[in-house]
Amino acid sequence: MYFIQQAFKGKNDFWRYLLGFLVIFIGWQVIGMLPLFAVAFSYAENLQVFQESANENFMNLGIDKNLFLFLMLFSFIVGLLSIFFVVKKIHQRKVITLITARKKIDWKRVFFSFSLWFLISTILLVISYYGNPDDFKWNFKPMPFLILIFLSFLLLPLQTSFEELL
């Protein structure tokens, strides 16, 4: 079976797509953002400061950068779970049909693509560094860096998966 034929599996009534859109949007943009709003509100001195920060950037409130990254990526995790819910319960399809027409994910292809993209990004970073060394500043702090690495490897694949599946 070809990948494009996967779209005809499950239930495909128009109302299911409309309901699915609403469920995903509410999960991603409303429920997923509640923790960020709660933390930002706890950091704000009052409602006016909170509103000003909401218009500009919540990081201006002094929220730890790694915590802020986690809170921002949390909404994508909720969005991804919402997609899984919509596909399984509303469209009554297997989630894997969104990714491949095969029985299983071909992890060799995934890792090859990841490695290729990593190589291209590294080459471009090195070129950028040698072209504009003043744009780079050494700012290594071991503990925040380790937390950042952990969050990046754990959450960024979920965020990119959400964006690709959406």
pLDDT in tens, 84-140: 999 999 999 999 999 988 889 999 999 999 999 999 999 999 999 999 999 998 889
As for how many domains the chain has, the answer is 1
Q: Where are the alpha helices (DSSP H) in the chain?
A: 14-25, 34-43, 47-55, 65-85, 107-131, 142-165
pLDDT in tens, 66-88: 999 999 999 999 999 999 999 99
Indicate whether 122 belongs to any domain: no
Indicate whether 110 belongs to any domain: no
Indicate whether 71 belongs to any domain: yes
Indicate whether 80 belongs to any domain: yes
Indicate whether 115 belongs to any domain: no
pTM of the model: 0.85
Alpha-carbon distance of 119 to 76, in angstroms, equals 26
> Domain range spanning residue 36?
3-105+136-165
Structure token digits, residue 64: 């730890």
